Amino acid sequence: MPFLAILQDFLFANSTPGGVQPTPTDGVIAVPVPERIIHLPTVLNRTGLSRSTLYRKIAEGTFPAQVQISIHGARWRVSAINRWIADPLSYRAENDNRPLGDAPV
């Protein structure tokens, strides 16, 4: 059987009906989106906190801690900031070791 015929048979056998896109349950592996990190001015802008309040909340454990990216550089995970913005009163840093997309704190 020529290669083209084999390829056509394979594509036909593995095509999805009605043009429906395959989902992870169809055997397709979803590629995770890398976690974004943001710097201090962006965090301050998104939260409306002052710099001193932000660092005080980090010390109290009521705001996400920074991620060390170099010897002198640190940033914040967008997902952690979004969880804090969603519910700032009940946020606790010790509960923030979850991957992106998990249920809220």
Confidence of residue 10 (pLDDT cuts 50, 70, 90): low
- The whole domain housing 63 covers 37-95
Tell whether 76 is covered by a domain: yes
Spatial distance between the Cα atoms of 40 and 72, rounded to a whole number of angstroms: 13
- How many domains, the chain? 1
Cβ-based neighbours of 69, under 8 Å, separated by 6 or more = 37, 75
8 in a structural domain: no
Q: Is position 15 within any domain?
A: no
Task: Please write the tens of the pLDDT for every residue from 31-79.
Answer: 666 788 999 999 999 999 999 999 999 999 999 999 999 999 999 999 9
The pLDDT of residue 66: 93
Short-list 59, 64, 53, 57, CA closest to 86: 64
Does residue 9 have a pLDDT over 90?
no
**Tens-place pLDDT, residues 14-43:** 555 555 555 555 566 666 667 889 999 999
Instruction: Name the one residue in this structure whose structure tokens are 């995970």.
Output: 77
In a domain, 25, yes or no: no
**Beta strands, E only, 1-105:** 37-38, 67-68, 74-77
Q: Is residue 30 part of a domain?
A: no
Q: Is residue 3 part of a domain?
A: no
Judge whether 59 lies within some domain. yes
Residue 5 is assigned to a structural domain of this protein: no
